[in-house]
Structure 1
Amino acid sequence: MAISDWPAAERPREKLLQRGAEVLSDAELLAIFLRTGARGRTAVDLGRELLGASGGLRGLLDMPLSKLRSQPGLGNARLAQLLGALELGRRYLAAEMVREHSLTKPDDAGRFLMAKLRHYPHEVFACLFLDNKHRVLAFEELFRGTIDGAAVYPREVVRRSLEHNAAALILAHNHPSGVAEPSEADRSITRRLVEALGLVDIRVLDHLV
């Protein structure tokens, strides 16, 4: 049965407009972007299949582009819509970070940095540069490496901090392996950066993994 034949209250688009996006399942939200199904399957069926094949919404949205292209039912138009929606979400989080108020909630920084870094298949080391009121000045991905590690140079972090006239930093890097526990190497580079930045009166507020 086509979605157009469903009761109006059960159709994903109508349900969203009447009751809000939060009541929709992941498959129904995907159906909003997919718009139509394929080969006798509704858009909701297709959404369920995509989620099942990727292990859930996060697995689907974290897929490399090359693998997303191979997913059944995801042609160029649908893929462009999906990737565009994902980027809108990232930019929304980024916009929240650069408002005039001070950054007072660590969770805000955590959500933003997770959205920026978690999809990379290799390690990325990044910095969130803050002024003396903890307002965001800039975000930069400074170093990239293999899945096993990224070479981090304190001198470069100090240089970029001074160029941004930062008073404080939040450091972050991803673990593509999925292990969130900081390694001894992570603790070592954090200590080196705290010492190097301390020489120019710049504080390290946190190092998020």
Structure 2
Amino acid sequence: MNHRKLSAGETTGTYRITDTVTESELLSIAKAFARRRLAKGRKITQPALAFEYLQVLLQDYEHEVFSPLFLDSQHRVIRFEELFRGTIDSASVYPREVVKRALACNAAAVILVHNHPSGDPEPSDADRRITQRLKEALGLVEIRVIDHIVVGSQGCDSFAEQGYL
């Protein structure tokens, strides 16, 4: 982490703030750490481990975004990117485009991720329908959908944990 107001702490994974920081700077630091935790090559052993990073990155959007996490066969991150951007309460997601991007990344698996600007991460019926369509489309090209995570300021909901997958 290359930030002037942050230095490494005595224990691995800890940091000291060396100067006064604003709330905006703290959020920027948190987002930089979250992006680093979802960077290429990082292994995602349990989707729940990614929740806090995804929440930091997506909870403040005022519109819905759909951002898959493409993984290799060892569940290491290949790419995390915003594919679709919507309105305050919906985003159009096109299975064909998700499949094209997954194939371009040579993904073996994917964790689907989108946010709810309302703050409530409870999946909607539309969320469940598009997840099923994506699972079927990706399954045709042997790409597994491991989870679909809905991010809100009140937390994250996992389709896998709720038994929707």
Give the TM-score category using the shorter length.
0.7 to 0.9
Cα distance in 2 between the residues matched to 1:116 and 1:205:
20
User: CA offsets, 1:60-96, max 9 Å, x none?
Assistant: xxxxxxxxxxxxxxxxxxxxx5433322211212212
Identity %: 53
Contact 2:41 2:78 (8 Å CA) reproduced: no
Match of 1:88 among 29, 37, 59: 29
When the two structures are aligned, how many residues end up with a matched partner? 135
Higher strand share: 2
Match of 2:113 among 172, 187, 190: 172
Q: TM-score, normalised by structure 1?
A: 0.60
Cα distance in 2 between the residues matched to 1:200 and 1:131:
14
Match of 2:52 among 111, 134, 144: 111
Q: Point out which structure has higher relative CO (alpha carbons under 8 A, 6+ apart).
A: 2
Aligned counterparts, 1:77-156, within 5 A: 81-98=22-39, 100=41, 102-156=43-97
Question: SS in structure 2 opposite 1:133?
Answer: coil
Higher helix share: 1
Q: TM-score, normalised by structure 2?
A: 0.75
Question: SS in structure 1 opposite 2:100?
Answer: helix
1:208 counterpart letter in structure 2: I
Residue matched to 2:136 = 195
Residue matched to 1:183 = 124
Residue matched to 1:158 = 99
Question: SS in structure 2 opposite 1:89?
Answer: helix
Match of 1:32 among 12, 16, 20: 20
Question: SS in structure 2 opposite 1:196?
Answer: helix
Cα distance in 2 between the residues matched to 1:188 and 1:158:
16
Query: Aligned pair in 2 of structure 1 residues 148, 97: CA closer, same or farther (>3 Å)?
Result: closer
Question: What are the ranges of 5 or more consecutive residues in structure 1 without an aligned counterpart?
Answer: 1-16, 23-28, 34-80
Decide which structure has the larger Cα Rg and report it: 1
Q: Structure 1 residue 105: deviation in Å?
A: 2.8
Contact 2:59 2:119 (8 Å CA) reproduced: no
User: CA offsets, 1:13-43, max 9 Å, x none?
Assistant: xxxx9xxxx9xxxxxx9x932xxxxxxxxxx
Query: Aligned pair in 2 of structure 1 residues 150, 101: CA closer, same or farther (>3 Å)?
Result: closer
Cα distance in 1 between the residues matched to 2:90 and 2:48:
25
Aligned-residue RMSD, C-alpha: 2.1
Q: Any runs of at least 4 consecutive aligned residues in structure 1 with deviations exceeding 3 A, and if so which?
A: none
